[in-house]
């Protein structure tokens, strides 16, 4: 728990001005009135204009916020990111200027893990290709799928999402293995080192944060360790995979396919064979949307009480 944070109001009868660089649609109706009772919301989902006197709280999602941008809000005291990541916020500037930064962890529930399994099923079963062929009258692709029962699921990163994927894979009759930086216990799953996981898995799920060590974790060398029948599923940062290495692995048959929940540009993947793409929607269920908004709204409530939850700066 961080030190007490006191937000300086214009006066004790005025709620703090709050700039929200997100769409109002991302806040379920039952939470909007709660938000309005706490702050004075200013909605700018396009994020083009960061100016504004009296803005003490900034709520954002994946919008680059350097010191130059943040300096346009001289009264800013708190930045809340609506996801787990906060690397796009200039935390050094915030620390130097007494601005607290809080993220929003733990809101996904089973949503992202379910999406990861769905991406694997879609890629393995060639669902998008079959759907397209049926709709256009083209000949259906002749590639066969693999039964999941008896196969091995390898999960890199055994946090909450990774552990859920292990459980779901076992429920489908698969063996579960995982690699993690530190020793962990995941029911029914076996911890192995990364290279053994890559060499023995029929599907590799990436469920870990982006760090200097995990950047391009899957590259030309590590793809070469995998089975030609294996699939890759990424529901974490795009930068965990070297897109050129992925293209080469798919084209030369080092792996069979991939399912990617893409945060940034999909351009590197559009021409690749047997790749299923979604636009960062792993968390996007009714339950996930509600949990996400309720969590960051709770962070604002706790900050106004002097104890900001999920404080990272």
User: Can you give the pLDDT at residue 246?
Assistant: 98
Give the pLDDT score at 6.
Answer: 52
Sign of the torsion formed by the C-alpha atoms of 285, 287, 293 and 299: negative
Checking if the pLDDT of 11 tops 80, the result is no
Rounded to an integer, the average pLDDT of 73-93 is: 93
Higher pLDDT: 141 or 302? It is 302
Q: Among 44-48, 109-113, 129-133, 199-203, which is the least confidently predicted range?
A: 44-48
Q: Is the pLDDT of residue 8 over 70?
A: no
Q: Which residue has the higher pLDDT, 209 or 9?
A: 209
CA triplet 82, 235, 195: central angle to 5 degrees?
135
| Cβ atoms of 134 and 156 closer than 8 Å | no
> Could you tell me which of 273, 149, 260 has the C-alpha nearest to residue 202?
149
In the structure, what pLDDT confidence band is assigned to residue 5 with cuts at 50, 70 and 90?
low
User: Looking at residue 308, what is its pLDDT?
Assistant: 83
pLDDT at 53: 80
Q: How far is CA 62 from CA 153, 268, 281, 300, in A?
A: 30, 20, 14, 18
Q: Is the pLDDT of residue 10 over 50?
A: no
How far apart are alpha carbons 7 and 13 in whole angstroms?
13
pLDDT tens track for 132-172: 999 999 998 888 999 999 999 999 999 999 999 999 999 99
Per-residue model confidence (pLDDT) at position 48: 77
Give the per-residue pLDDT at 307.
Answer: 86
Secondary structure tally for the chain: helices H, strands E: 10, 12
Closest Cα to residue 60, out of 20, 25, 97?
20
| Distance between CA atoms of residues 115 and 165, nearest Å | 10
Statement: residue 187 has pLDDT above 50: yes
Q: Residue 111 is encoded by which pair of tokens?
A: 């949503």
- Rounded mean pLDDT, 284-306: 94
Q: Which tokens is 241 given?
A: 């995979």
Q: Give the Cα separation of 57 and 79 in Å (integer).
A: 6
Find, among 25, 17, 57, 24, the residue nearest to 302 by Cα: 57
Q: With bands split at pLDDT 50, 70 and 90, how would you rate the model's confidence at 292?
A: very high
Please tell me the pTM assigned to this model.
0.85
At 9, is the pLDDT very low, low, confident or very high (cuts 50, 70, 90)? very low
**Largest Cα–Cα separation, the chain:** 70
Determine which of 6-15, 46-55, 299-308 has the lowest per-residue pLDDT on average: 6-15
Cα–Cα distance measured from residue 35 to residue 29, given in angstroms and rounded to the nearest whole number: 10
Percent of the chain with pLDDT over 70: 96
């Amino acid at each position: 728990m961080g030190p007490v944070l006191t937000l300086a109001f214009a006066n004790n009868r005025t709620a703090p001005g709050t700039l929200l660089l997100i769409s109002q649609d991302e806040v379920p109706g039952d939470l909007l009135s709660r938000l309005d009772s706490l702050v004075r919301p200013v909605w700018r989902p396009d994020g083009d204009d960061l100016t504004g006197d009296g803005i003490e709280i900034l709520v954002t999602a994946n919008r680059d916020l350097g010191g130059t941008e943040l300096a346009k809000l001289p009264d800013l005291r708190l930045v809340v990111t609506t996801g787990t990541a906060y690397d796009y916020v200039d935390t050094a500037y915030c620390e130097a200027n007494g601005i607290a930064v809080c993220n929003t962890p733990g809101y996904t529930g089973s949503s992202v893990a379910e999406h990861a399994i769905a991406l694997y099923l879609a890629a393995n079963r060639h669902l998008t290709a079959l759907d397209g062929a049926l709709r256009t009258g083209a000949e259906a692709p002749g590639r066969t799928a693999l039964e999941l029962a008896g196969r091995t699921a390898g999960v890199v990163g055994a946090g909450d999402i990774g552990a859920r994927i292990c459980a779901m894979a076992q429920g489908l009759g698969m063996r579960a293995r995982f690699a993690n930086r530190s020793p962990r216990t995941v029911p029914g799953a076996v911890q192995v080192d990364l290279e053994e996981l890559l060499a023995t898995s029929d599907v590799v799920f990436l469920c870990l944060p982006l760090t200097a060590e995990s950047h391009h974790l899957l590259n030309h060398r590590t793809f070469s360790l995998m089975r030609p029948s294996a699939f890759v599923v990424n529901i974490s940062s795009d930068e965990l995979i070297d897109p050129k290495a992925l293209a080469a692995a798919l084209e030369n048959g080092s792996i069979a396919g991939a399912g990617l929940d893409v945060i940034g540009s999909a351009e590197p993947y559009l021409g690749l064979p047997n790749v299923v793409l979604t636009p960062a929607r792993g968390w996007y269920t009714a339950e996930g949307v509600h949990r996400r908004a309720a969590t960051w709204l709770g962070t604002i409530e706790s900050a106004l009480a002097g104890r900001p939850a999920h404080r990272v700066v």
